Chain A
Amino acid sequence: MTADMPADMQAGFAAALLDPDRPVPPGLRAWNGSDPARRFGVYRNNVIVSLVGALADTFPVVRQLVGSEFFDAMAGVYVRAHPPASAVLAHYGDGFADWLAGFAPARGLPCLPDMARLERARVAAYHAADAEPVTPASIAAHLARPALLPAARLRLHPSCRVLRSNFAVHALWAAHQRDDAFGGDGPAIDIDTACAMLVLRDAADEVLVVGIDAGAAGFIGALLEGRRLGDALQQAPGVDLAGTLALLLRHGAVVAWHADGADA
């Protein structure tokens, strides 16, 4: 027995768990002398099924779009190629959307990667850090000094994310949320319609997907990058500033407002 024995054993065990073509690791036994491969298969199954299940929890609409059988097979390929690095599975699947874009069997559904990005953003928003929105009184005080507005920096709620897609993923996602009780077909969706979305968690702990126009997406995206209000406006020509600010404030998405432009 060498000092590296446990590491070697676990390395072989781990490799065989993720690769069904590898032989069962040596040194295993069963009380009745039966082939340990069948028993080892329980571990193989647990690893893949549990991680596929974690992805299925995060990407329910992607799963509905491709069908559960296709999804489970596809997610199994992803799990074997990109097993998680962390035991905190709320973060697992960050790379799934990019991987999907290169997964040839799913090319028939080009909106799939963006749908995965939307679903991943929703989970991230659900678990994002808490932050208190700025008070209406404080906002009124800032708006009363318009000369200071261009230099101001706004910090948005940690759950906020802006997504853009060349496909109508927002409408498609919304169609998949409809309760069967409302039944029937929703409005027809032209999948080749571009859209932009703001994902955030509101004060009632609801994760919202809000449709926004390209101007608002550019403006909010610039705020998320830490730009001053004036710079954000320049990056988003044609943005409806009043409407976009009102949207953010209505959802409690502004959590700090620094008039002097200091780092928010």
Chain B
Amino acid sequence: MTPLAGIGLKDAHALPLLQGAAAVDFIEVHAENCLVAGGPRLRRLELLRERLPLSIHGVGLSIGGAAALDEAHLAALHGLVRRFEPRWFSEHLAWSRHGGIWLNDLLPLPYDAQTLARVCEHIDRVQTRLARRMLLENPSSYVEFSASTFDEGGFLAEVVRRTGCGLLLDVNNAYVSGVNHGRDPWALIEALPVLAIDEIHLAGFAEDRDAAGDRLLIDHHGSPVDAAVWRLYERTLQALGPRPTLIERDHDVPGLPVLAAEAAQARAMLRAALPLREAA
């Protein structure tokens, strides 16, 4: 198995990547950025798709939404997935839409039996419509719900058991949520079914304080991966073995070489996590 270290692709990186300015092992695009009629973004993605494995990462399905899934959006995603045939398609354990309004943030859910049933129903529908297995990403969150009866790891494990979906483990989100809710981030990772984890995300957070003066971390994707997240990633790899790992940056996006260097750091850790026989 070749360890894969990739980057989230922004418009500014497409040409430098095509011109060979840096080496990355795969790319990930936000599905909603590609749901346009035409133009250079899709054309460049088609060229990159011929050279690199592609992950399509949805932010628009509102899997945790109380209402039924937006079938028109799902149909558009189906078209996108058919056109680009990504190796992975992922979405979030969150909701973002209500009453016809798109709120453009990944909003939190109570982890109870009702949410579990709804999320599983929606994932079933996505997997049926797209005719493929999807990966579900653990969120970063800032509040919890009194109504929750599951911890996040137990909730995700049950979703996997019921729907057969895979997981996208965002190690930064695990760390951010762990700190924000006074828990050991490792407890979440440890609770996940190891074999379901098909991709890992790494990103940067910003630091704030809550009303009690305790640390409140903001998942802002606007800075390099934090040292604490790299340590949690290393521990994760020791438990899981290597998994395709993506560097995410959505704000203050630096040039391709900077992102490629972060991906190279992940690649080195992935190689170190290979069984000796394969690493040789």
Could you list which residues of chain A lie within 8 angstroms of chain B, going by C-beta atoms? 1, 5-7, 9-11, 13-14, 17-18, 27-40, 42-43, 46-47, 50-51, 54, 83-90, 126-131, 158-159, 201, 205
Do B39 and A130 touch across chains, with their CB atoms under 8 A apart? yes
Do A43 and B142 touch across chains, with their CB atoms under 8 A apart? yes
Do A85 and B101 touch across chains, with their CB atoms under 8 A apart? yes
Do B39 and A205 touch across chains, with their CB atoms under 8 A apart? yes
- Assuming the A-B contacts A85-B102, A130-B38, are A39 and B32 also in contact, with contact meaning beta carbons closer than 8 angstroms in the complex? no
Nearest-Cβ distance from residue A175 to partner chain B, whole angstroms: 24
CA of A131 to CA of B43 in the docked complex: distance in angstroms?
A: 12
Contacts of A126 in B (CB 8 A): 39-40
- Assuming the A-B contacts A11-B99, A127-B36, are A40 and B104 also in contact, with contact meaning beta carbons closer than 8 angstroms in the complex? no
- Assuming the A-B contacts A50-B105, A90-B33, are A35 and B211 also in contact, with contact meaning beta carbons closer than 8 angstroms in the complex? yes
Do A87 and B104 touch across chains, with their CB atoms under 8 A apart? yes
Q: Which of B38, B97, B108, B218 contacts A87 (CB 8 A)?
A: B97
How many A-B pairs have beta carbons closer than 8 Å: the answer is 145
CA of A84 to CA of B99 in the docked complex: distance in angstroms?
A: 11
Do B182 and A88 touch across chains, with their CB atoms under 8 A apart? no
CA of A135 to CA of B115 in the docked complex: distance in angstroms?
A: 57
Nearest-Cβ distance from residue B55 to partner chain A, whole angstroms: 18
Contacts of A88 in B (CB 8 A): 32, 35-36, 60
Do B102 and A83 touch across chains, with their CB atoms under 8 A apart? yes
Interface status of B65 (Cβ within 8 A of chain A): yes
Do B37 and A38 touch across chains, with their CB atoms under 8 A apart? no
Q: Which of A27, A84, A87, A205 contacts B145 (CB 8 A)?
A: A27
CA of A11 to CA of B97 in the docked complex: distance in angstroms?
A: 10
Which of A6, A87, A89 has the most chain B CB within a 10 Å cutoff?
Answer: A87
Contacts of B66 in A (CB 8 A): 6-7, 9-10
Do A9 and B38 touch across chains, with their CB atoms under 8 A apart? no
Interface status of B147 (Cβ within 8 A of chain A): yes
Do A1 and B114 touch across chains, with their CB atoms under 8 A apart? yes
Contacts of A36 in B (CB 8 A): 143
Interface status of B146 (Cβ within 8 A of chain A): yes
CA of A159 to CA of B59 in the docked complex: distance in angstroms?
A: 27
Contacts of A9 in B (CB 8 A): 66, 110
Which of A17, A33, A39, A50 has the most chain B CB within a 10 Å cutoff?
Answer: A39
Do A28 and B145 touch across chains, with their CB atoms under 8 A apart? yes
Do A29 and B95 touch across chains, with their CB atoms under 8 A apart? no
